[in-house]
Amino acid sequence: MTRDGRILIVEDEASQRRLLKTLLEGRGFEVDTAGSVAEAAEALARQTPDVLLTDYNMDDGNGVDVLKQARSHDPDLGVVLITAYGTVPMAVEAMREGAVDVLLKPVDPDALLEVIGRALRLRNLSSQNAQLRARLHEQFQSAGVVARSAPMQALLKTALRIAPTKASVLVTGESGTGKELIANLLHEEGTAPEGPFVATHCAALPESLLESELFGHAQGAFTGAVADRKGRFEEAHGGTLFLDEIGEIPPAVQVRLLRVLQEREIVRVGENHVRPIQVRLVAATNRDLEAEVAAGRFREDLFYRINVVHLHVPPLRERPEDLPELIAAFTRDCVARDGMAPLPFAEDALQALAGHAFPGNVRELRNVVERALLLAPGEAVTAADLPGSVRGGAEDAHPEAEGLEGAVLALETRMIREALARADGVQTRAAALLGVAERVLRYKMKKYGIERPDRRS
């Protein structure tokens, strides 16, 4: 039975080459041999071994030459140098180029086998790491997380490490960075992915309702409580509870939340019955909670309870490497969801996007991509199709314009109906009258539920 390992021996002395080959084949390894640097290059071109043993001094070169050739074929290849005249500079050069070890002749068989074993373990570890990186990429892509940049790679590496634990996690980052995606990822890769994932936006609820929303209430607990109701903690039992904008929770609710996290049990508002819960808590905020603690607005004991592990999602401006893949991902979403044409982004559009600070982060980028795909009149999205705020102009830069959304939608609907009527229901002509591409018209008609009128006879 052979071991899991193929070894290439590069040695210009035939007797030494035979000795090493016999020794290693006797221990179950598959062994190839080469008598020179040139023969080693030919052998490496045919097949990359798992470990390479090479003499240092040879007529047509030296072992470091072989090492460099070998690692150009496979950077994870374990290389061991053997020499009768070892010097410190030679050993330093060999280790700097990636040698696993340097052994002196005559080689001690046990020492050689130990070094080969270490080289094989390092190679297997590198292979496992490569497989893990590939698996991570698939997992992150399936969770909607793009992580080409170094900051996101570091974040997701930590997230995967802690996901199988029950530790509470605090996710921080600016608005729109994708904190809920990270919470979803922790859930999917956690100990109970089949359990519920319950998300609550703490800032969206008034203080009078937040306590009931989180912990539930009994019938008659307050005006309007016409029936018993589970809170979010009970809904998330056996899974993950995501509390977004936890920094907005008022002091009274902070006290109750701390007790729930300490005791792992809840009491609904208006009753005394204790209910055990098993929930993995992931909290998120765009506030500096340490500053909130110092200011007395957030309980220090609660901060430490939720901040067992801290994950910070970097803003989009600090991860420009992720822009192309994010744009591609959002384009795929728009195509699948709304049937938009999968237009490519021209170089000038990509440059404009790369130069934008994106104060709204990934959420803003998604909106920009969707708008551009919808309104671009040509066969590609150009810089001219982007909002003026992205191009550096003033157009679309006024936030008060959002308040006109209802009026704009009503106006668009009326204009589309009128154009269709004038065009006798012919969409191509209606689009020309409106000055938009036909695909834009089709999208708008679908979005607003507008049916093509019957054509007149």
pLDDT in tens, 360-379: 899 889 989 988 888 888 88
Backbone dihedral angles phi then psi of residue 445, each to the nearest 5 degrees: -65, -40
| Rounded distance between C-alpha atoms, residue 304 and residue 300, angstroms | 6
Q: Can you give the pLDDT at residue 4?
A: 60
Q: What is the mean pLDDT of residues 241-262?
A: 93
| Rounded distance between C-alpha atoms, residue 97 and residue 68, angstroms | 7
Q: Can you give the pLDDT at residue 409?
A: 66
- Looking at the predicted structure, is the pLDDT value of residue 85 above 80? no
Evaluate whether 387 touches 396 at the Cβ level (below 8 Å). yes
Q: What is the mean pLDDT of the chain?
A: 84
Q: Can you give the pLDDT at residue 261?
A: 93
- Strand 57-58 relative to strand 61-62, pairing: antiparallel
pLDDT class of 94 with cuts at 50, 70, 90: confident
Distances (CA, A) of 84 to 8, 54, 81, 89, 102: 19, 12, 10, 14, 11
pLDDT class of 127 with cuts at 50, 70, 90: low
Q: Can you give the pLDDT at residue 405?
A: 52
Q: Can you give the pLDDT at residue 346?
A: 92
Instruction: Tell me the per-residue pLDDT of 294-313, one tens digit each, with 9 for 90 and over.
Output: 999 999 999 999 999 999 99
Q: Can you give the pLDDT at residue 410?
A: 65
| Rounded distance between C-alpha atoms, residue 99 and residue 186, angstroms | 39
Evaluate whether 104 touches 83 at the Cβ level (below 8 Å). yes
- Looking at the predicted structure, is the pLDDT value of residue 242 above 60? yes
Q: What is the mean pLDDT of residues 281-286?
A: 95
Q: Can you give the pLDDT at residue 144?
A: 55
Q: Can you give the pLDDT at residue 456?
A: 46
| Rounded distance between C-alpha atoms, residue 242 and residue 161, angstroms | 19
Instruction: Tell me the per-residue pLDDT of 98-110, one tens digit each, with 9 for 90 and over.
Output: 788 888 888 888 8
Lowest pLDDT segment from 83-97, 209-223, 275-289? 83-97
Instruction: Tell me the per-residue pLDDT of 31-78, one tens digit each, with 9 for 90 and over.
Output: 999 989 899 889 888 888 889 888 888 888 888 888 888 888 788 788
Amino acid identity of residue 109, one-letter, is P
Total Cβ atoms within 10 A of residue 68: 12
Sheet strands side by side (includes 309-312): 197-201, 239-244, 279-285, 169-172, 309-312
Instruction: Tell me the per-residue pLDDT of 389-434, one tens digit each, with 9 for 90 and over.
Output: 888 643 443 333 344 455 566 677 778 887 888 888 888 888 888 8
This prediction has a pTM of 0.57
Q: Can you give the pLDDT at residue 275?
A: 92
Q: Can you give the pLDDT at residue 47?
A: 85
pLDDT class of 2 with cuts at 50, 70, 90: very low
Total Cβ atoms within 10 A of residue 291: 11
Structure tokens at 258: 């701390």
Residue matched to tokens 């634990």: 165
